[in-house]
A and B are shown apart, each in its own frame.
Chain A
């Protein structure tokens, strides 16, 4: 199994080094305009948020997989996970706001020992939970086998990565055997009603390209995935989110190692879409790190780019004060503004 950048002592494990690589004046990116200049041209700089509608909580970097494109640099060797005390601060913050959606991510969020406690707490507050489930965790260990029933009991929306509808591409990105385990897990989710018409249990899949290219039309890909998964495995799901890989952490490492960095960045810049730029998810989302720090998005979190606000920790959460901030942007943001746009909910334009 490949290891995290942190475990191998890679320079790219250091967020400051990543930001140096991403600088537009670096040799590889010599011809690229800065993202802020591009946004200024589009009349979108500084980028102002609206009132937060989604609280995205990253409950930790621990994961049972070590995917090649992971922007979190997650893996079994990562021990940074959110404590119950910090989760309580998240619940306290939620109770003080009218944010209706909580988006749980990781790592594999289910590996946090207090994951179920947090979901139950969100449920008690009457808010909706989205969990970014990597699927294989459901079959990784007996103690996770009942996750589909647990999710269903709390009406959790499940969003799961499946980069392709066959094993070859999926396993190259996510690890040997991941496709077969994902299919098993999808069948378990379908069995309790997930993705089934009329069940009210939502199962969305995430497609992201297995390489240095951009995703095509979300609608076209969804049609292919639906047809192939139904025909080959009898699996159903609701929507497919096509997400662009962001040049951060292990995906940045892949781009550099494969000699695709400059070409990929050029593609992102050439595909800059002002409509997608106006609809970026950081405008209505606040991202919480495993230690309670606040960020504009999960990518900024991994680059240690804290929100530009006097409020920088969940214990001080103040939706009105945070709405006054300007979103912190950098070169990686081109990933969310390319083509039809990209967000945790798929295309934005």
Chain B
């Protein structure tokens, strides 16, 4: 079945350098640097990436960072809590606009 997202394309991510080598290379160097053990551990970074992957709804990233989180030793509860963090922020971002809606409604109402 043909779909917009093909799991096999994830392995071809590096090919983006074929059409713009310098920018692509700089991106991947940066990417590698970002995920190194630092003030945050590799596992913590992987869980953040997993949460962001859900927030941006990137199927490639969800596959990649589910695998990566498992490899880094995260357990299922930690992974689901990361997804809830993403959901809370996404949900909160919607709801906090409710204040704007209230402000406007009050402005227009008697």
Contacts and interface: CB of A to CB of B under 8 A. Distances in A.
Contact of A168 (B42, B68, B75): B75
Contacts of A209: 70-71
Contact of A213 (B42, B70, B76): B70
Contact of B73 (A168, A211, A220, A270): A220
Nearest to A221: B73
Interface residues of B, number: 13
Nearest to A219: B37
A270 B76 CA distance: 26
Interface string A201-232: 00000010101011111001101100000000
A99 B72 CA distance: 36
Nearest to B43: A220
Interface residues of A, number: 17
Interface string A184-214: 0000000000000000000000010101011
A214 B67 CA distance: 9
B72 A220 contact: yes
Given A217-B42, A224-B43, A164 B75 contact: yes
A168 B75 CA distance: 9
B103 interface: no
B48 to A, nearest CB: 15
A209 B76 CA distance: 13
A166 B42 CA distance: 20
A95 to B, nearest CB: 43
Nearest to B46: A216
B76 A168 contact: yes
B53 to A, nearest CB: 16
Contact of A220 (B11, B41, B67): B41
Interface string B40-57: 011100000000000000
A169 B75 contact: yes
Contacts of A213: 67, 70-71
Contacts of B42: 216-217, 220
Given A220-B37, A220-B41, A224-B43, A214 B71 contact: yes
Contacts of B68: 216
A166 B37 CA distance: 24
Given A216-B43, A220-B43, A211 B72 contact: no
Contacts of A169: 75
A124 to B, nearest CB: 41
Contacts of B72: 216-217, 220-221
Contacts of B67: 213
B71 A215 contact: yes
Most central of B42, B71, B75 by chain A CB within 10 Å: B71
Contacts of A224: 43, 73
A220 to B, nearest CB: 6
Contact of B71 (A166, A216, A270): A216
A169 B37 CA distance: 25
A168 B10 CA distance: 30
Nearest to B7: A263
B71 to A, nearest CB: 4
Contacts of A164: 73, 75
B79 to A, nearest CB: 12
29 contacts: A166-B75, A168-B75, A168-B76, A207-B73, A209-B70, A209-B71, A213-B67, A213-B70, A213-B71, A214-B71, A215-B71, A216-B42, A216-B43, A216-B71, A216-B73, A217-B37, A217-B42, A217-B72, A220-B37, A220-B41, A220-B42, A220-B43, A220-B72, A220-B73, A221-B72, A221-B73, A223-B41, A224-B73, A270-B11
Given A168-B75, A213-B67, A220-B41, 17 more contacts: A166-B75, A169-B75, A207-B73, A209-B70, A213-B70, A213-B71, A215-B71, A216-B43, A216-B68, A217-B37, A217-B42, A220-B73, A221-B72, A221-B73, A224-B43, A224-B73, A270-B11
Interface of A: 164, 166, 168-169, 207, 209, 211, 213-217, 220-221, 223-224, 270
Interface of B: 11, 37, 41-43, 67-68, 70-73, 75-76
Q: Which 7 A-B pairs have the closest CB atoms?
A: A216-B72, A216-B71, A221-B73, A213-B70, A224-B73, A213-B71, A213-B67
